[in-house]
Amino acid sequence: MSAVTEASPKALAPRPRGGVVQSVRDSLVVAKRNLIRMLRIPEMIVFGLIQPIMFVVLFTYVFGGSINVPGAPAGSAQAYREFLMAGIFAQTVTFATAGAGAGIADDMHKGLIDRFRSLPMARGAVLTGRTLADLVQTALTLVVLAAVALIIGWRTHENMGSVLAGFALLLFLGYAFSWIGALIGLIVRTPEAATSGGLIWLFPLTFVSNAFVPVNGMPAFLQHIAEWNPFSATVQAARELFGNTIPGREASVTGAWPMEHPIWASLIWSVLIIVVFRTLAVRRYRSATA
């Protein structure tokens, strides 16, 4: 008489393959899947372009003659354009956070993550692939936005290598923030909640900064918050790399280290955000799919 044993579903599930190379391959496969999905839904890209273009036009023509940039002639629209654009670029890459969170929440809601579980793939590849696809979409958005900025009169005053380094820092910050969006998408239950949760904290982060108005006009306590804001560090770094700073003007109002060394501060902040939130997101993903 033979005994029949029934294996548990967990035992029958394919084990994910290990190794860094395999993890990279799996991540690229997931990224390709998300990019193809974006191409099949072009309105996602179009609507993602409308908001930043609106911000550029509105801030330039509505507020451009009213906001004075310290060290520049009073009411100089050109000075404000060059001051503004790094902030608009940074806002654009960070607002992609909401899209990342909504996409992951949608995959969870539709059961797509359960399908990925049945495949022998690295656990973190699903999240990494999604954030890489969002990074590509954000880069395309920046290209279009930069073209619009040039049309309305924005100019850079450094060599091409420095300008490209500025955009690289902006994309690095956007990639870091996409991991915050991934964590939010795994925590909430619906894509709508992920969109709201991904935006609500971004508004104070981006507006209590040096992105749209000079910090010296803020109350003293907000000046310190704004100049230690990771968003502000990347904005200031981009301005320096684009050559959009005012010669002879102090970079910091409060003497904050991130404003005096913005490039290093931007890199440090982005790396810290990736390390912390990628760890939390992957841990949450594993517990959600265990």
The model's confidence at residue 126, banded by pLDDT at 50, 70 and 90, is: confident
Percent pLDDT > 90 in the chain is: 36
CB within 8 Å of 101: residues ≥ 6 apart: 180, 181, 182, 183, 184, 185, 188, 194, 195, 197, 198
> What size, in residues, is the chain?
290
pLDDT of residue 2: 46
Q: How far apart are CA 243 and CA 240, in angstroms?
A: 5
Which amino acid, residue 197? G
Q: What pTM does this model have?
A: 0.85
**Residue 128 has which token pair?**
């990494």
pLDDT digits (tens, 9 = 90+) for 25-79: 888 888 888 888 777 877 777 777 787 888 888 888 877 667 778 777 766 778 8
Arithmetic mean of pLDDT over the chain: 83
pLDDT, tens digit (0-9, with 9 covering 90-100), for 181-239: 989 988 887 888 887 887 888 989 999 999 998 898 899 999 999 999 999 999 999 99
- Angle formed at CA 121 by CA 115 and CA 123, multiple of 5 degrees: 85
User: Is 20 exposed, middle or buried (CB count within 10 Å of its CB: 0-12, 13-18, 19+)?
Assistant: exposed
Distance of CA 7 to the CA centre of its chain: 44
Q: Is the pLDDT of residue 9 over 90?
A: no
